């Protein structure tokens, strides 16, 4: 049996005056109704006098100074009733199981609640005017709850622990046990839990012991979720009857976090239905997240966070990131964020390593697109966090730097930059600056930065001289970033180029002002540029300048040195370009060519046919440069000249093209018989344009095979090696690529056939 609570309730002073017959009657009728309410163990409060009239009875008695007597009588009857309830609960503890005990507690707590609520309603005047303001008294509800707790545990001896050994403590234990069933997915126990928590919360709150109940719930929650985390991650089903919304066995790694999130959501949904305060609910959430997600986070996170990125579960990424950022303390937040960032870094590195396995021509485009997509993920799902962005950039640098593809990255980066500045739309300032940032990020990963600067300088000089750069300010923006990486010494020549162009505008204007009208007409189309030899790449090749062009150059040189007598001018026709008119039987054209190409073409004004040696003698070009120029005019996209079997060059009378103005490019290729790369790039590392040479060699082999239909291996090898400066092993490799791509097929051991 439980310990009974027996209190001595003072009923007032012995010297108090006797009651009038009316008040005696009222007093007796009041007590009769109290006995009627407490006379059974059902959740009812039957009275024969209305509650309004009973309230008036109490008010009359209190106004006659009978508060103490009424309170003493009420509490004495209430204590006796609650003692009997405690006896019933105590017996249920021995006779019933987990759910039954909690169910019995709910039934009896409901009875007490109904009875006490009725008594409080009747004695509301007493409660508000006397008990609430009395320093030694409790309100009716608080008195009832204290009596109930003490009846279950015995009278508190003052050490604060004895009540923990009582039946009520067992009810709390059983409540947390049943709560575990709900967390495991047994929804049938939820109504019982809601009702039992309602009464447990009320009892412990009114007796100022709510910390005890909360701590027990938190403790059991901590144990449960730590065990559940292990079960979910190891895919060990500890709860075979879980419903679909909360599956402990995960079919794949990317489902682990979603399962955890559903469990937390289910926890919060349950407590949202209770009358727990917001502070408690927040702490419940923190405990669930801390123990289900962040328990051993530094070890376990890789198993369920990284799969979110891999499976593109960005909603899960967003939820996970919010948990990390909103973790309860700054210390834990920093610790969890560090782990999260390391996983993000690892994912980006893996993603880029996979991307870099393929060395296709659009590598830079794919890298920039990948950077853009990853940035969007960071902005949309990780709140544009600066630390996440830093890790993204760090992962890019590390991945590219360690890819062992520096040559391929360098080559494709330079080509992308050159094409970007030739085609960029200056009006899209914001987007363009983002691209520049991405290009700089890729540049920082390049190991051979000196090679990059050297080739970038040559590309830039071409764009500036020909005037094909669409946005010079954007070019300067990239150079400024490059300067941060390589320093002023290596980047200064790049900025000097822009200064030279600006100065030349003034020089050109001053020169034309000094010319007479007649002289000015002869100088139309002549636009000299004075370039700093320390800033601009100066090709070594030279050519004999035609007399009419030489006169113009001499006149300008005299003008310039009159005001700059301490300087020396050296003409660099290899950097020049010109536009010439050409008459073909099938239509006149304007040809945009380099000065070397133009001077060679001008020879055919006076000669119908010329041999290689004759052109060489007239132009005084070296064999390598001349071979490259003739090759570009006879074998490039636009075949301005033709070459017969005897090696004699002449104008191609069959040439035609729908465009009026044609830009004739030089071939970036090193050929036999002195044929060389584009004169703009003579000093470029041979590896930089390996991909270009491969494509041109492929094109040559395909043309030969298409023409001959079938060819022996040795004949094909000899033709290719004779044509290009290339190793036999490289030719074999390219032939194998063509076989794999089904451009040609092997019909015998050493013979190939063209596939239409």
DSSP 96-109: --HHHHHHHHHHHH
Sign of the C-alpha dihedral, residues 741, 747, 751, 752?
A: negative
The rounded Cα 65 to chain-centroid distance in angstroms is 75
User: Is 10 or 304 the better-scoring residue by pLDDT?
Assistant: 304
Picking from 394, 257, 386, the residue whose alpha carbon sits closest to that of residue 325 is: 386
Band of pLDDT at residue 151, cut at 50, 70 and 90? confident
CA-CA-CA-CA dihedral for 177, 179, 184, 190, to nearest 10: 130
CB 303 within 8 A of CB 256: yes
CB 183 within 8 A of CB 266: yes
Band of pLDDT at residue 663, cut at 50, 70 and 90? confident
Percent share of the chain, pLDDT over 90: 18
User: Is the pLDDT reported for residue 156 higher than 60?
Assistant: no
Sign of the C-alpha dihedral, residues 36, 38, 39, 43?
A: positive
Q: What is the mean pLDDT of residues 736-742?
A: 85
Could you give the angle at the alpha carbon of 319 between the alpha carbons of 346 and 251, nearest 5°?
70
pLDDT in tens, 418-452: 989 988 898 988 889 988 998 888 888 887 888 88
User: Is the pLDDT reported for residue 712 higher than 80?
Assistant: yes
User: Is the pLDDT reported for residue 737 higher than 70?
Assistant: yes
Percent share of the chain, pLDDT over 70: 86
pLDDT in tens, 605-651: 889 899 988 998 998 888 878 888 888 898 888 888 988 888 899 99
Picking from 367, 362, 358, 436, the residue whose alpha carbon sits closest to that of residue 400 is: 367
Q: Backbone dihedral region of 545: left (phi > 0), alpha (psi from -120 to 50 degrees) or beta?
A: beta
Domain with CATH 1.20.1310.10 in the chain: 21-155+163-169
Looking at residue 516, what is its pLDDT? 67
Band of pLDDT at residue 4, cut at 50, 70 and 90? low
Q: Are strands 648-651 and 661-663 parallel, antiparallel or unpaired?
A: unpaired
Picking from 539, 661, 533, 678, the residue whose alpha carbon sits closest to that of residue 591 is: 661
Gap between the Cα atoms of 512 and 501, Å rounded:
17
pLDDT in tens, 493-522: 888 888 888 888 788 778 777 776 656 665
Looking at residue 684, what is its pLDDT? 33
Q: What is the mean pLDDT of residues 388-397?
A: 90
Looking at residue 360, what is its pLDDT? 65
Gap between the Cα atoms of 299 and 296, Å rounded:
6
Looking at residue 477, what is its pLDDT? 92
Band of pLDDT at residue 332, cut at 50, 70 and 90? low
Q: What is the mean pLDDT of residues 549-562?
A: 80
Domain with CATH 3.30.230.130 in the chain: 576-663
Gap between the Cα atoms of 310 and 308, Å rounded:
6
Band of pLDDT at residue 676, cut at 50, 70 and 90? very low
Gap between the Cα atoms of 414 and 459, Å rounded:
8
Q: For residue 10, report the phi and psi dihedrals to the nearest 5 degrees.
A: -65, 135
Q: What is the mean pLDDT of residues 49-68?
A: 90
Q: What is the mean pLDDT of residues 451-477?
A: 88
Gap between the Cα atoms of 71 and 62, Å rounded:
10
Q: Are strands 609-611 and 648-651 parallel, antiparallel or unpaired?
A: antiparallel
> Which superfamily does CATH assign the domain made up of 576-663 to?
Cullin; Chain C, Domain 2 (3.30.230.130)
Q: What is the mean pLDDT of residues 15-43?
A: 84
User: Is the pLDDT reported for residue 241 higher than 80?
Assistant: no
The mean of the pLDDT values for the chain is: 82
Looking at residue 155, what is its pLDDT? 42
Band of pLDDT at residue 690, cut at 50, 70 and 90? low
Looking at residue 330, what is its pLDDT? 54
Band of pLDDT at residue 118, cut at 50, 70 and 90? very high
Query: What SS3 class is residue 347?
Result: helix
Q: What is the mean pLDDT of residues 446-472?
A: 86
Greatest mean pLDDT among 341-350, 410-419, 526-535 lies in: 341-350
Judged on CB neighbours under 10 Å (0-12, 13-18, 19+), 252 is: exposed
Token duo for residue 107: 């039934």
Residue range 678-754, CATH number: 1.10.10.10
User: Is the pLDDT reported for residue 368 higher than 80?
Assistant: yes
Looking at residue 635, what is its pLDDT? 82
pLDDT in tens, 162-220: 433 568 888 888 888 888 888 888 888 899 999 989 988 888 888 888 788 888 888 88
Gap between the Cα atoms of 30 and 19, Å rounded:
14
pLDDT in tens, 542-552: 888 887 778 77
DSSP state of 277: -
Gap between the Cα atoms of 361 and 689, Å rounded:
12
Domain with CATH 1.10.10.10 in the chain: 678-754
Gap between the Cα atoms of 514 and 441, Å rounded:
49
Q: Find out if CATH 1.20.1310.10 is the number for domain 21-155+163-169.
A: yes
Gap between the Cα atoms of 320 and 342, Å rounded:
14
């Amino acid at each position: 049996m439980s310990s009974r609570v027996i209190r001595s309730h003072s009923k007032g002073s012995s010297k108090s005056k006797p009651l009038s017959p009316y008040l005696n009657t009222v007093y007796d009728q009041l007590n009769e109704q109290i006995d009627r309410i407490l006379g059974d163990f059902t959740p009812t409060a039957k009275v024969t006098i209305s509650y309004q009239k009973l309230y008036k009875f109490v008010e009359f008695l209190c106004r006659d100074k009978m508060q103490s007597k009424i309170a003493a009588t009420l509490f004495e009857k209430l204590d006796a009733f609650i003692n009997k309830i405690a006896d019933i609960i105590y017996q249920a503890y021995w006779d019933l199981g987990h759910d039954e005990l909690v169910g019995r507690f709910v039934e009896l707590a409901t009875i007490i609640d109904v009875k006490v609520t009725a008594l409080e309603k009747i004695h509301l005047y007493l409660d508000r005017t006397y008990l609430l303001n009395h320093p030694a008294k409790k309100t009716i509800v608080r008195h009832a709850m204290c009596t109930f707790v003490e009846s279950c545990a015995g009278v508190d001896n003052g050490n604060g622990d004895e009540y923990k050994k009582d039946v009520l403590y067992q009810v709390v234990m059983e409540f947390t046990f049943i709560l575990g069933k709900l967390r495991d997915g047994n929804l049938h126990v939820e109504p019982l839990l809601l009702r039992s928590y309602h009464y447990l919360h009320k009892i412990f709150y009114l007796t100022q012991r709510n910390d005890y109940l909360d701590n027990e719930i938190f403790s059991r929650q901590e144990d449960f979720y730590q065990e559940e985390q292990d079960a979910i991650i190891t895919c060990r089903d500890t709860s075979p009857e879980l419903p679909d919304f909360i599956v402990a066995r995960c079919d794949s790694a990317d489902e682990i976090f979603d399962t955890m999130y559903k469990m937390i959501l289910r926890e919060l949904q349950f407590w949202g239905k209770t009358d727990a305060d917001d502070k408690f609910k927040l702490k419940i959430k923190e405990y669930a997240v801390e123990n289900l997600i962040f328990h051993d986070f530094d070890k376990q996170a890789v198993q369920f966070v990284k799969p979110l990125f891999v499976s593109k579960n960005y909603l899960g990424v967003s939820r996970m990131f919010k948990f990390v950022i909103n973790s309860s303390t700054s210390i834990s937040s920093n610790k969890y964020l560090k782990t999260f960032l390391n996983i993000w870094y690892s994912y980006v590195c893996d993603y880029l390593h996979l991307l870099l396995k393929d060395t296709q021509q659009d590598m830079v485009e794919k890298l920039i697109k990948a950077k853009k997509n990853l940035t969007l993920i960071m902005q949309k799902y990780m709140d544009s966090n600066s630390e996440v962005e830093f890790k993204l950039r760090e992962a890019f640098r590390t991945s590219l730097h360690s890819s062992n593809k520096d040559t391929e990255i360098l080559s494709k980066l330079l080509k992308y930059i050159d094409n970007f500045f030739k085609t960029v739309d200056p009006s899209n300032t914001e987007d363009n600056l983002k691209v520049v940032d991405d290009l700089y990020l890729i540049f920082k990963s390049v190991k051979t930065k000196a090679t990059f600067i050297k080739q970038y300088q040559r590309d830039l000089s071409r764009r500036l001289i020909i005037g094909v750069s669409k946005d010079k300010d954007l070019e300067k923006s990239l150079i400024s970033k490059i300067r941060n990486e390589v320093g002023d010494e290596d980047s200064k020549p790049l900025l000097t180029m822009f200064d030279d162009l600006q100065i030349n505008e003034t020089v050109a204007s001053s020169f034309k002002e000094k010319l007479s009208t007649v002289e000015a007409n002869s100088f139309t189309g002549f636009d000299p540029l004075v370039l700093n030899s320390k800033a601009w790449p100066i090709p070594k090749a030279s050519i004999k300048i035609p007399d009419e062009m030489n006169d113009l150059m001499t006149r300008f040189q005299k003008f310039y040195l009159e005001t700059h007598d301490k300087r020396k001018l050296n003409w660099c026709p290899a950097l020049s370009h010109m536009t010439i008119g050409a008459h073909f039987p099938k239509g006149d054209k304007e040809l945009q060519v380099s000065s070397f190409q133009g001077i060679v073409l001008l020879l055919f004004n006076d000669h119908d046919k010329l041999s290689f040696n004759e052109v060489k003698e007239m132009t005084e070009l070296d064999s390598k440069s001349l071979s490259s120029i003739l090759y570009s005019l006879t074998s490039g996209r636009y075949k301005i000249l033709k070459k017969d079997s005897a090696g004699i060059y002449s104008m191609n009378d069959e040439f035609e093209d729908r465009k009026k103005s044609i830009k004739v490019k030089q071939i970036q290729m090193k050929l036999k018989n002195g044929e060389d790369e584009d004169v703009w790039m003579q000093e470029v590392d041979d590896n930089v344009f390996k991909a270009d040479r491969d494509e041109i060699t492929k094109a040559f082999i395909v043309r030969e095979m298409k023409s001959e239909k079938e060819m022996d291996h040795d004949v094909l090898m000899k033709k290719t090696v004779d044509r290009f400066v290339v190793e036999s092993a490289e030719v074999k490799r390219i032939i194998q690529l063509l076989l794999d791509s089904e451009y040609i097929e092997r019909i015998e051991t050493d013979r190939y056939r063209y596939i239409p």
